[in-house]
Amino acid sequence: MSPHFKFNLWLEAKDYLLITLGLLSYAVGFTLFLLPHEITTGGTTGLGSIIFYATGWWKVQYTFFLANTLLLIMALRTLSLRFCVKTIFAVLMLTLLLSGVEWGMQYLYATNPALFPAGFNAHVKLPIVIGNAFMSCIFAACMMGMGMGLVFLSNGSTGGTDVIAAMVNKHRNVSLGTMVLISDIVIVSTSLLLPNGNLQNLLYGYTTLIVITGMLDFVVNKGRQSVQFLIFSERYDDIASAINEFHRGVTVLDGTGWYTKQERKVLVVLAKKSESNIIFRIIQSIDPNAFVSQTLASGVFGYGFDKIKVKPKPAQPRQRDWGKPRN
């Protein structure tokens, strides 16, 4: 097995681990803090919660699984196979996690009800972790937004409207958080149609969406930050080759030290911020005395980074200058 294959295999395993952690955060936030207060969120989980609140027996995960099966069939024609495979994994995993967290909460309440002094919601059959509904929706939104961000950074999706957002984001210059917010507002608004629907829970649902959107964009943009390295070293060729093996491009520039009047090579490297430690380790292992400058890049676009998404300017029809005669 080649070193490159081993490295790629590790990256894939890391992606699936982060996806699982993100889904766990999402499932815990949703089940512990939203369901007991019958607060609705967006996506297929929000749609499932509305059906669950209305029936009292049709579980959220049932609607989540069925709706995502249909969306994934649609997404296979638009999104990459790699993205869809990870999304299928995420849908199956989140379905299991929603069931597992729900069962775990019911088991804890049955064995030790003193852990939940705020009481028990008999309609949804879940204990209330925090008595204050507003604080519950804030906790839920932070955990769910962080979880969704981790999943998106790993090229996956939590399914539902996230799949729709990813499809639109692939072709339009719209942030993921904005797309999720727009597509989810309608779902939250339908909570007023429930028998026990009220304006307070509707506003809590909107608050949840806003916080999820902010947390999602924060995590995704934080993870996509790029950095630029300027590396000065006598062993520039060895460093450049080692960085290339890491699948990062290196540009070699000619420079002159004005104090020494000596010509030397300067390496320019653009990388993700999360890759900084690996590049520093490469430099340290080859030339501990190398001079390195690292700066944040506000935007890096192209192969290996974000795609340039600019809508082409429509061509304007030429207007004839009526004051001049034609030739």
DSSP bridge partners of 258: none
The mean pLDDT value of the chain amounts to: 83
pLDDT beyond 80 at 307: no
Average pLDDT over residues 236-240: 93
84 alpha carbon, distance to own chain's centre: 15
- How does residue 272 score in pLDDT terms, banded at 50, 70 and 90? confident
3-state DSSP call for residue 36?
helix
Lowest mean pLDDT among 134-143, 188-197, 217-226: 217-226
Query: pLDDT (tens digit, 9 = 90+) per residue, 126-151?
Result: 999 999 999 999 999 999 999 988 98
What CA dihedral angle connects 268, 272, 276 and 280, to 10 degrees?
-30
pLDDT beyond 80 at 227: yes
Domains of the chain in sequence order: 9-223 (no CATH), 226-297 (3.30.70.120)
Structure tokens at 278: 């690996």
Structure tokens at 273: 């911020």
3-state DSSP call for residue 127?
strand
What pLDDT does 101 receive? 96
Average pLDDT over residues 272-301: 83
Comparing 66 with 170, the larger pLDDT belongs to 66
| Total-model pTM | 0.72
SS (H, E, C) 245-313: HCCCCEEEEEEEECCCCEEEEEEEEEEEHHHHHHHHHHHHHHCCCCEEEEEEECCCECCCCECCCCCCC
What pLDDT does 49 receive? 94
Q: Give the orientation angle of helix 161-169 with respect to helix 176-189, to 10 degrees.
A: 140
**Which residue in 154, 226, 215 sits closest to 181, CA to CA?**
215
Comparing 80 with 225, the larger pLDDT belongs to 225
- Per cent of the chain over pLDDT 90 is 46
Query: pLDDT (tens digit, 9 = 90+) per residue, 47-70?
Result: 999 999 999 889 999 999 999 988
